[in-house]
Structure 1
């Protein structure tokens, strides 16, 4: 049987400018009907569809690239000098199309889409038990929707590719509008929630609850910029409520103790709070470098890739959540120093430290999972969307107050719909500090400009005026050169 690794247009063009192409591991790239003509083949193809999203420094979300592309938010910044130019470009709204960090996310998403397209095109040809086949196809729909959701929010107008088959036409593909991309995302997730099982096939894989949670987040985003369809808020609230009402069936819940959630130990991996998370195995050659050296201060031998801005830290409510979220005393050869006396003079994230096998152990490849959607997201999606669709209900108050209670904050009560929604957005900024959420909230609510005004003098200022054009990244240079139609 002849298997073809047909690369989608964007993946092919990106690889064309990289000398590592010939050395790339082909796992997860087999496409065509021959690769999925049996249930074992379908299972392998689905597992392969996840892989480009977590291929270390090559593609996906396993390196500081996931942080770099979101640095326009005030919860993230980087070293003002050193070798962090590509990260500073993001933080200062001066991103070059040759920036390799944007390429990592772009490539990972399009390769996952290519692999998911292959499963979607061929699963109906596989003979066997539909109870086995359909959930696998549901995962492919989820992966494609997830990948396009990241792409459309980061790049806006993007190529919309729904086939894994190669033809010369891919070199002339045009960009689709966000409206068209969101239509596919909605359709894919609606299909996924019907086909997926309630239980996950394994940690790090999607189930029906994950599809519903992602769809709720999509609807919430569509209520804001650039779609601005306020009717989506009611849909977001309803879909999130489905997850909340059935959390037991899906295996979701809040972890009672935030210290466990961000312990940097195996106890924080695979908790019920992980609605959807990327799982890693460093000893298997597939580690996660978002944790460890990437997030640690150079005072302790770390890389200073990312930490928090000063005003964000100062405005963060005191209490247990702040203590768990941030790392502010550094252990140096000269003794313990506070962050004000550190090299960068910034607090760091305790969330992304790695504390195994010994506390403070320095590593650049870890087993830590990267949670993309937590159950806390579902609660706060519901609360915000319900308020924006009308007046905040008793259930909406209960949802946000569960998150606040765990953080040690008092309950909210008796707020207008507008004030309540604003409180939820603020709560999201604290609860998901550094967690790939704040930038997208600022973007959909058109708050990027205000969030980047009046920065502390020690933080990196924007190098040019921020406009709506600043909300999206440039198409990676290699792809745009080979197909000018996507510039």
Structure 2
């Protein structure tokens, strides 16, 4: 919950009592150690398995209105079906995990941003910590504004009674803060990551490029942002060696389900997890994406129409799991399975009897940067330039597909959008693309007979999720 019914204390994201691992308040941050402790607490907002954030199937659920991902038609998956069928209630616990996690991280980042200037010590280290805080606050608001639209915009870490009646801010105001935060993060972060799982200067540039691309579409619709997106993405591409980024040569490396998948150059920004600590284990890999025929949980699977349209080749083989091994050793194709759907191989583990892992959560891959540049440059210019073609073709060649060439501006943009769908299938990118491109209804118009069908309104009036019921009951302005 964002707020608590008691006017004497704030709920989870504003209560000092519940901020385990986080140092809050002007007295707490008096030195660099205090800053580091506060930053650790900020990360925990998004990395608290089962409680909040991005470490369970809630992250897939958040984008289940897209055409790449779905869930089973029965069983205990009603929370996911609500989202997939555009029939969301404000009591949906999967969506609440993202809402509460983002605001928890925002509160922690606010604490650092508002108090770091009283700290003395190594300015390089201080800047790095504060740059991470700006980056995390931007990330939290970026996920909230795309999912919920009009949201509370909070820049304080301290509770006051005014927060119990706070008004929503329009997306344009939220995006303004996101841009400012990422520009500050870009200026303050080092070129090299302090550790895996942390952002560097290139990470901030990459997310800012993605933000600009999104602002070019719905609901902001500021076409001038496309040139900014292309320019910022190019800064990353031109300096990929400095920032330590690149495509991994073999896409299978990213989805091996082993330790080789962690810490690759493709991680522009990825959260690191640990199966050795239950509170920060990745629990959307493994059993959540294993079919019931293999004693899995069936949390999420691939939509049939999307699978059928997916270009054949190595990337399709790496992305999908299509032949299931039953406990008795019998192997069956997905068409004969209980759900009659293909599943996602990219989120399987070497040992798929587990629901805990140390797999990274890829928030931005280098492939994102390449495809952001390709689309944004084509939209901003008269036609796609040589680097736009080189960028999309680098992704396609790794997937085993032929290069694009000689396309019209419109055909090139459409091809890049399709490429984003295939490359990031199941990775919470497709939903955000459909929103900004106003193609939600179009993408959901051609469901296969065994795919779940929308039962709610697919117009823009139903693009955003309702605020969680606990907060809305406390604050009528939500």
**Distance in 2 between residues matched to 1:363 and 1:288, nearest whole Å:** 11
**Distance in 2 between residues matched to 1:393 and 1:120, nearest whole Å:** 40
**Distance in 2 between residues matched to 1:131 and 1:66, nearest whole Å:** 34
Shift of 1:376: 0.2
Cα distance change of structure 1 residues 479 and 13 upon mapping to structure 2, 3 Å threshold: farther
Conservation of the 8 A alpha-carbon contact between 2:185 and 2:201: yes
For 1:174, which of 167, 180, 186 is the aligned residue?
A: 167
Where in structure 1 do 4 or more consecutive aligned residues deviate above 2 Å? Answer: 11-14, 16-19, 24-30
| Residue 69 (structure 2) aligns with | 76
**Distance in 2 between residues matched to 1:325 and 1:470, nearest whole Å:** 30
Conservation of the 8 A alpha-carbon contact between 1:28 and 1:52: no
| Residue 138 (structure 1) aligns with | 131
For 2:336, which of 321, 334, 341 is the aligned residue?
A: 341
Task: Give runs of aligned pairs for residues 20-35 of structure 1, distance below 5 A.
Answer: 26-35=19-28
For 2:346, which of 348, 351, 372 is the aligned residue?
A: 351
Render the CA deviation track for 1:61-111: whole Å, top value 9, x for unaligned: 000111111101010000100000000000000001011111100000000
| Residue 298 (structure 2) aligns with | 304
In structure 2, the residue corresponding to 1:176 is in which secondary structure?
coil
| Residue 275 (structure 1) aligns with | 268
| Residue 326 (structure 1) aligns with | 320
Task: Give runs of aligned pairs for residues 411-450 of structure 1, distance below 5 A.
Answer: 411-450=403-442
2:376 paired with 1:385: yes
**Distance in 1 between residues matched to 2:367 and 2:21, nearest whole Å:** 32
Conservation of the 8 A alpha-carbon contact between 2:23 and 2:34: no
Task: Give runs of aligned pairs for residues 442-461 of structure 1, distance below 5 A.
Answer: 442-461=434-453
2:368 paired with 1:374: no
In structure 1, the residue corresponding to 2:453 is in which secondary structure?
coil
2:475 paired with 1:483: yes
Q: TM-score, normalised by structure 2?
A: 0.96
Conservation of the 8 A alpha-carbon contact between 2:23 and 2:29: no
**Distance in 1 between residues matched to 2:68 and 2:93, nearest whole Å:** 22
**Distance in 1 between residues matched to 2:240 and 2:44, nearest whole Å:** 27
Conservation of the 8 A alpha-carbon contact between 1:11 and 1:111: no
| Residue 284 (structure 2) aligns with | 290
Shift of 1:28: 3.4
Render the CA deviation track for 1:194-248: whole Å, top value 9, x for unaligned: 0000111111111111100000000000000000000000000000000000111
In structure 2, the residue corresponding to 1:474 is in which secondary structure?
coil
In structure 1, the residue corresponding to 2:425 is in which secondary structure?
coil
Gaps of 5+ in 2: none
| Residue 3 (structure 1) aligns with | none
2:95 paired with 1:102: yes
Shift of 1:364: 1.4
**Distance in 1 between residues matched to 2:265 and 2:29, nearest whole Å:** 32
Shift of 1:469: 1.7
Cα distance change of structure 1 residues 29 and 17 upon mapping to structure 2, 3 Å threshold: closer
Render the CA deviation track for 1:316-368: whole Å, top value 9, x for unaligned: 0111000000001111123111111111010000000011xxxx431111111
In structure 1, the residue corresponding to 2:70 is in which secondary structure?
coil
Conservation of the 8 A alpha-carbon contact between 1:11 and 1:107: no
Conservation of the 8 A alpha-carbon contact between 1:64 and 1:294: yes
In structure 2, the residue corresponding to 1:106 is in which secondary structure?
helix
Shift of 1:282: 1.5
Cα RMSD (Å) of the superposition? 1.8
Cα distance change of structure 1 residues 452 and 13 upon mapping to structure 2, 3 Å threshold: farther
In structure 1, the residue corresponding to 2:347 is in which secondary structure?
coil
Cα distance change of structure 1 residues 382 and 12 upon mapping to structure 2, 3 Å threshold: farther
Shift of 1:283: 0.8
Q: TM-score, normalised by structure 1?
A: 0.94
Shift of 1:11: 5.5
Cα distance change of structure 1 residues 479 and 268 upon mapping to structure 2, 3 Å threshold: same
| Residue 392 (structure 2) aligns with | 400
Shift of 1:35: 2.1
| Residue 308 (structure 2) aligns with | 314
Gaps of 5+ in 1: 1-8
**Distance in 1 between residues matched to 2:10 and 2:18, nearest whole Å:** 17
In structure 1, the residue corresponding to 2:364 is in which secondary structure?
strand
